[in-house]
Structure 1
Amino acid sequence: MDTHDRELRDVVVVGGGAAGLGAALTLARARRRVTVVDAGEPRNAPAEGVHGLLALDGVGPVELLARGRAEVRGYDGEVIDGEVVDTRAAGHGFDVILRDGAVLPTRTLLIGTGVTDELPDVPGVREQWGHGVLHCPYCHGWEVRDQRIGILGTHPMSAHQAVLFHQWSRSITFFSGGRPIEEQDRLHLAALGIPIEERGLSRVEADGGRVVGVRVDDDEVIGLDAVVVATRITVRVEPYAAIGLVAVDHPVGTVIPTDEFGATPVPGVWAAGNCADPMAQVGGAAAQGTRAAQQINAALIMADLKKAIEVHDGARV
């Protein structure tokens, strides 16, 4: 791409995941000049398949995004590989600056960059993340139904995860890792018959690429088929600091604040997907992108109408 590509876009979408591509598809079909900038780091890349997505249950994450890119391009939308490092206000809206120096002028901006998971500092967790180490029962619960599942109590939401996963398996063990447990959480676990392992955590053990258990402090390995962790999530807003966009705290980390239609507190900037809603699965993220795109298109229509009225009234004077 020419680093001085000054052709004005209607929308630049940052992030080529479900939210960003869902938005871009709607905008391209609305005959908007739209460019998707994707850094190529999808959150769900380690997963074997995307589940709970109507008519596409089990599709691979890479395949899903490839289909989405092709659909956007099929309506003359632009999808480029790149990383946004800065955004500046301009008379036309914004200038979006990429790491390679390219500048994309745009009237509006949609952020769909997702979030980053901060994994617990337990050896073996990162190596098995997205395979034997899971976090979402709606994404992975069916695949581990009736299996031996260990919940690592490394997060304030860990006991709640144990309660949720109990729907899919009655063979649940909660590992406190030697950390204190709230009395209310103890009550919930006891009511469901979920045993608590109080010893400290040494590592998640795997064999042949599969989780086989959790090793506790006295070196005993407690056999398991899957491990569940809660992660703290963070959203990257540094590239948008110059236009005044800031993240806010959420019980599970940080998010970009939006209204129900995806509009952020910064005029002309929308956000959709996990960067604004950590609980959204792939289908929900895509739907949020579509909804935000509809609002963006409506805003652009009204802005163009206002200009047309001004020109019309000026011509009559």
Structure 2
Amino acid sequence: MTEYDVVVIGGGAAGLNGALLLARSRRSVVVVDSGRPRNAPAEGVHGLLGREGTPPAELLARGRDEVVGYGGEILPGEVADVTRDGARFVVALTDGRTLSARRLLVATGLVDELPDIAGLRERWGKDVVHCPYCHGWEVRDEAIGVLATGPMSVHQAQLFRQLSADVTFFSHTAPPSAEQAEELAARGVRVVAGEVAGVVVEDDRITGVRLADGTVVARTVVAVATRMVARAGFLTGLGLHPVPHPMGVGEHLPADPAGRTDVPGVWVAGNVTDLSAQVGPSAAAGAGAGAQINADLVAEETKAAVAAYRDPFSARSEARVSELVLGDRRHGV
């Protein structure tokens, strides 16, 4: 089967929860999953009621099983391009396969761009962290270094100060303003000037932060605000492009509160549009978008059914009714 009511692009929490709602509404739905979730390096998902500490891979495996259990499909692959063909979308995969859909739900998440500093990427998700709500409890009372990289770095330092009394702010390329420096001092956060060159790793763990002048400041955890960029290059054929986020933290795909984009028929959910969303809010957004897509399809089908009801002998009405009946038969209705 290559024709669907909905193609969901992205098999994380947002995409799978959207697919689950659609499959439970008896929609033909397929999830195209590249198998590269953002939280893959993490040991567990945190802040998710009822699933606290669950390994990310286990949570996604459960979600895939639930979608399949209601008749949805999971298709390993990566999308290369999306175009329009009349009223439908054509989704081209990198391996040459194509899918056709009446609606799209894009939930491909984002890419974390780390500063070009030696050692950060290798320790990412271990003792190089970014979110106090995702990792904070696990690094409580540690010697934490916050690496200033942008407009949210001072705020990040204040949040980690809630978790440890030993926090050092490395001004690097984004020194704090006079007001911010006073706030950090008032909370007992030490500020270290100068660019950071790398992290020191011994026995498979960080032991310090090395400045460009060679000075090493002892730290066991480094917090860094990444530049977050939506994975959405495949949507350029539809005229959708990531734009700068208002808070200056990266690029996202804008949408209304329901996840509807400026392109009719295309919805987004999760980190591709909400850069700061954790697993719980992402899953909720996926469910909301799935419900909105189903309602939109119902409205379209009702409009066609009314037209056929009013003029049952027109060729257009007969063709449309046949299409709707075919869709129903796919689901045994």
Normalised-by-shorter TM-score class = over 0.9
Give the superposition deviation at 1:178: 6.1
2:282 matched to 1:255?
no
TM-score by length of 2: 0.91
Aligned with residue 27 of structure 1, among 22, 26, 29:
22
**Post-superposition CA distance 1:54-99 (Å, at most 9, x none):** 1111111111111111111111100011111111112232011101
Name the structure 1 match of 2:57.
Answer: 62
**What residue number does 2:282 align with?**
285
Q: Which SS does the other structure have where 2:189 is aligned? A: coil
Deviation for aligned residue 1:141: 0.6
Measured in 1, the distance between the counterparts of 2:174 and 2:156 equals 16
Q: State the 1:203 CA deviation.
A: 1.1
C-alpha deviation, 1:154, in angstroms: 2.2
Encode CA deviations 1:235-277: one digit per residue, 9 max, x unaligned.
Answer: 1332111112122210211111110000001000000000010
TM-score when normalising by structure 1: 0.95
Q: Is 1:162 matched with 2:157? A: yes
The separation in 2 between residues aligned to 1:147 and 1:127, in whole angstroms, is 20
Partner of 1:143: 138
Check 1:266–1:178 CA distance in 2 against 1; reply closer, same or farther (3 A cut): closer
Measure, in 2, the Cα distance between the counterparts of 1:238 and 1:223.
Answer: 40
Q: Pick from 294, 299, 302 the counterpart of residue 299 of structure 2.
A: 302
Q: Does 1:11 align with 2:9?
A: no
Provide structure 1 residue ranges, at least 5 long, that are not aligned to the other structure. Answer: none
Is contact 1:92-1:105 (8 Å) kept?
Answer: no
The match for 2:322 is none
Greater Cα shift, 56-65 or 288-297? 56-65
Which one of the candidate residues 80, 88, 98 is aligned to 2:83? 88
Alignment RMSD (CA, Å): 1.4
**Structure 1 Cα separation of the partners of residues 179 and 274 of structure 2:** 27
Which stretch of structure 1 is more off in the superposition, 306-315 or 246-255?
A: 246-255
d(CA) in 2 for partners of 1:200, 1:315: 74
SS in 2 for 1:184: helix
DSSP-derived class of the 1:13 partner: strand
Q: Which moved more, 1:149-158 or 1:292-301?
A: 149-158
Q: Which amino acid aligns with 1:19?
A: A
The question of whether the paired residues in 2 share the 8 Å contact of 1:248 and 1:254 is answered with yes
Supply the distance in 2 between the matched residues of 1:248 and 1:112 (Cα, whole angstroms). Answer: 16
- In the other structure, the counterpart of 2:264 is 267
Identity of aligned residues (%): 51
Conservation of the 8 A alpha-carbon contact between 2:150 and 2:174 = no
Once the two structures are superposed, the pairs formed by residues 224-235 of structure 1 within 5 Å of their partners are: 224-235=219-230
In 2, the alpha carbon distance for the partners of 1:121 and 1:188 equals 28
